[in-house]
Structure 1
Amino acid sequence: MSASQLSPAWAIELKSPPPYKSKQSAFPDPPGFPTPQTHSKKKDKSSKRDQRTPPTQDEMDTLKLKKAWEVALAPIKSLPMTGIMMYMSGNSLQIFSIMMVFMAFKNPIMGILATNQAFEKFVSETNKGKVLQVKMVYVACQLVALALGIWKINGMGLLPTTRSDWLAWEAQREPIEHAVVGL
């Protein structure tokens, strides 16, 4: 048996597709999808067209500043989801709530420490002052994310906020609930 007899018909058709049939339709092809006949005409026109001019320094600075603002506002965009996750994890000491608190502190602190690395690709000689403002907004957003973590550990009762936490002779807080082992 030859190879063509062993191969299915669809595989043979893939290797040698049928020739293009011109369609006589009332609808023209959409822009950007030329038929093979018009494709060769488009190549001739595009070769005659001028090459794209490179952007000016002002345009590059504007684009870099836009991208820097996107990086600066990214931490604040993740706060609603983080807040919902913290609310849903509860205020008891469990592995999930402890991991949430750890991440709520780790991510903003690492973000603040890596501020210069996050914005070094956007800094140029002409836009240093504007990028400094963006960096300050970024740090402020990270501090808001850190405040969310502080809110969570306060809700868990881990912050020393009462007098009994600091003074040995003060009476401790009465717990709201007591757990009793069931048999």
Structure 2
Amino acid sequence: MADWSIDYASINPIKKKSNIANPVGFEQGALSNAKAGSKSTRQSTAQETHNDTALKIRRAWDVAWSPAKSIPMNAFMLYMTGNGVQIFSVMITAMLFFQPAKAIMSLQQNFARFESKETATELIVPKLVFLGLHILTMLLGVYKVNAMGLLPTTTSDWLAFLPHKQVLEYVAL
């Protein structure tokens, strides 16, 4: 026989296998834990419920902060479209109003998978963060509409008999 081969016939099955190491990831008490009494099962169920609650809250916070990831991209798109009134800038600005409005309307559906008896009160703050970030996106759209000159801010915008405000000087920053 070769030096690297093992003769399985020479291994005594009755002899204790203390010289053979356990494989990686093997837990010695795994089989005994599976056969444990109902008392330990109840304790582990309570601990799993607590872990599930913590996991649900963590995932709810992930959903709550997800609108913050799109705010820098939306701001960059607004910057790149300029302050002129073109179809592309109007479409981007309309997107800043309609998408957050749809997300706000589906607030309960977004957080429904995290709702339970334990998490009912803990989901209020993530919902408010989600709502606030979408309102911030809408405020970005209001800023863009104002920068394009489409937001009526003077009395002459509302009344036809008043003359429009004359701009005497422009400053480029």
TM norm structure 1: 0.67
Partners of 1:93 and 1:124 in 2: how far apart?
A: 48
Partner of 1:140: 132
Partner of 2:78: 86
The Cα offsets for residues 71-102 of structure 1, whole Å up to 9 and x where unpaired, read as 11111221111111101101111121011011
Partners of 1:167 and 1:98 in 2: how far apart?
A: 25
Gaps in structure 1 of 5+ consecutive residues: 1-21, 23-37, 177-183
SS in 1 for 2:151: coil
Q: 1:42 aligned to 2:23? A: yes
* 51, 56, 64: which one aligns with 1:59: 51
Partners of 1:97 and 1:47 in 2: how far apart?
A: 65
Partners of 2:111 and 2:122 in 1: how far apart?
A: 11
Query: What amino acid maps onto 1:95 in structure 2?
Result: I
How many residues end up aligned between the 2 structures?
139
Post-superposition shift, 1:49? 3.4
Change (3 A) 1:47 1:99: farther
Partner of 1:69: 61
Partners of 2:164 and 2:28 in 1: how far apart?
A: 83
Query: What amino acid maps onto 2:148 in structure 1?
Result: M
Runs of 4+ in 1 over 2 A off after TM superposition: 45-55, 173-176
SS in 2 for 1:128: coil
The Cα offsets for residues 147-171 of structure 1, whole Å up to 9 and x where unpaired, read as 0010110111111101110122211
Structure 2 matches for 1:1-183, cutoff 5 A?
A: 42=23, 45=26, 49-50=30-31, 56-174=48-166
Query: What amino acid maps onto 1:133 in structure 2?
Result: V
Partners of 1:58 and 1:155 in 2: how far apart?
A: 50
Partners of 2:165 and 2:80 in 1: how far apart?
A: 25
Query: What amino acid maps onto 1:64 in structure 2?
Result: K
Post-superposition shift, 1:48? 7.4
Gaps in structure 2 of 5+ consecutive residues: 5-19, 35-43, 169-173
TM norm structure 2: 0.70
CA RMSD for the aligned pairs?
2.8
Partners of 1:156 and 1:125 in 2: how far apart?
A: 48
